[in-house]
Structure 1
């Protein structure tokens, strides 16, 4: 699985700016993801950008107090060379439609078509490709809407909803109220293969009610089999539990909110984990560096000790 983060996208754009013609005076993004790439390029090059529909209606974005260069254009008809960009091409349908729309327009300027990521089979359909990225692939900016989620494991607390507060995270009525009314964060629009959570098995019913209320589809809901919250705190088995589940499935990515747990999951399963806490992709061949980070982070060590102390008191 090729999982591209926002940070990786930014690096790939920055490292390929030299491929872009120097005389481009307007960047045009293909909605929606192409606008992300267009904005980044426009910021680096300090030139205006807009979207396809605005371009065809001869409108440009109001860019506020941005310091403009001397040759900054102020209207569409001033553009001599436009760059039309998208984040990626697969079927090429979006790029094909954009080309047709622009070619049918009255625009009288040079046009260059560009994507950040293409396949080995279609990169020649555009003028500029920053990087070849094979399937299967996911992007951080749209992974919650990707068909590949059926081959993914996903945490619930911290990913799909907010984490419970300190005084909610026990076996009280407050915790039950949290399970029923947790504020949603990221809602997938595709079925998830495995929801893997450290919530206790006895809360399956309440968890299923929340998932149904928020229209979250999934194939499997795997929960922790320990008697109570005190045992869970004392054993601190969250990462180990999730790692063993991930290891046994055919999933090629795990979406986890906790960096500490993400590292442990990756270490056990020897498969990549995307951590939403710091937006990092944890890879098996980089696990040593992450373990060292955890060892040197006093906040994580103190949190672990605090959990053990609280667990013993309950």
Structure 2
């Protein structure tokens, strides 16, 4: 999947600034991403950014005869209709930072071709995308349980029934993907209904109990498998460690709610310090240490001596 971050957008807008015709007097963003691109272009060139009232150009916001660049962040199909027209007494140029590889009618100004499917960091949480998104529950829609609440018993069930909401989406979510166990589906569905969370599918981990889940580990890998299988565009995950694993294993971007950043897909996720052993340890230290202890014991005293020597 072709991916562009906000940093990429900023760099490519600066490239557009180099080729911006001198007679462009002002810029208007014709999409949400276009407004961001227009503001970035203003920082580089000083060209004023025109604002719209109900989708139309404000009367008197630009002089008659001026040249206006109608800018969008990405043009993936046909040229979008501009709110600025020749009838406003201005000359209109069309622009896009990115142009899809299948687009035949090019805008007047553009920077780079982009392969589809593609993903953009600045569009990650756009409400219209949640219908094709995977969203974590604990840490996003509500807080995580405390160690005392997470007893796989009555206190945990009470947490599921009464935990306060943190973020309730305004739009319907495609898939809620959680490491909660399948046996807790009734409490989870009841809480979601009480708080008005709309979704197409609730995916829960089908393991017998918390001990089995802790022993198996691989929370990020489990979520990555779901992400890949359902064909979603974005995964919104609370844990940074799991977000890195999901992005790397699924080869698609993941928005980390805790750090407010998008982890790029595939091997690029390595930039965020991916290490499978560290992630397993962060997910469940006890399980990791038990497994490591059994591994060392099976290898005998020579392995113990060699391992100890690494830390001298």
Residue matched to 1:57: 58
Query: Does the 8 Å contact 1:116/1:131 carry over to 2?
Result: yes
Residue matched to 1:72: none
2:167 is the alignment partner of 1:185: yes
Greater Cα shift, 177-186 or 110-119:
177-186
Query: How many Å apart are 1:231 and its aligned residue?
Result: 6.0
1:140-151 alignment, distance < 5 Å: 140-143=121-124, 144-146=126-128, 149-150=131-132
Residue matched to 1:225: 207
Residue matched to 1:66: none
Could you list the runs of 4 or more consecutive aligned residues of structure 1 that deviate by over 6 angstroms after TM superposition? none
Report the CA distance shift for 1:211/1:140 in structure 2 as closer, same or farther (over 3 A). farther
Query: How many Å apart are 1:127 and its aligned residue?
Result: 0.8
Give the secondary-structure state (helix, strand or coil) at the position aligned to 2:71.
strand
- Encode CA deviations 1:223-255: one digit per residue, 9 max, x unaligned: 352523x66557644223323444555556544
Query: How many Å apart are 1:179 and its aligned residue?
Result: 5.5
Larger radius of gyration: 2
State the alpha-carbon separation in 2 of the partners of residues 169 and 140 from structure 1: 35
Query: How many Å apart are 1:128 and its aligned residue?
Result: 0.9
Report the CA distance shift for 1:157/1:98 in structure 2 as closer, same or farther (over 3 A). same
Residue matched to 1:69: none
- Encode CA deviations 1:180-200: one digit per residue, 9 max, x unaligned: 5543436273551x4321122
- Aligned partner of 1:131 among 112, 116, 121: 112
Structure 1 runs not aligned, ≥5 long: 60-74
RMSD: 4.0
TM-score of the pair, normalised by structure 1: 0.70
State the alpha-carbon separation in 2 of the partners of residues 4 and 190 from structure 1: 25
Query: Does the 8 Å contact 2:24/2:67 carry over to 1?
Result: yes
State the alpha-carbon separation in 2 of the partners of residues 18 and 127 from structure 1: 14
Query: How many Å apart are 1:261 and its aligned residue?
Result: 1.1
Give the secondary-structure state (helix, strand or coil) at the position aligned to 1:8.
helix
State the alpha-carbon separation in 2 of the partners of residues 249 and 155 from structure 1: 15
State the alpha-carbon separation in 1 of the partners of residues 247 and 123 from structure 2: 22
State the alpha-carbon separation in 2 of the partners of residues 283 and 128 from structure 1: 28
2:69 is the alignment partner of 1:83: yes
User: What is the aligned length?
Assistant: 283
Residue matched to 2:150: 170
Query: Does the 8 Å contact 1:138/1:146 carry over to 2?
Result: no
TM-score of the pair, normalised by structure 2: 0.70
Residue matched to 1:96: 81
- Encode CA deviations 1:16-37: one digit per residue, 9 max, x unaligned: 3212223433221224332222
State the alpha-carbon separation in 2 of the partners of residues 178 and 140 from structure 1: 32
Residue matched to 1:43: 43
1:269-280 alignment, distance < 5 Å: 269-276=249-256, 277-280=259-262
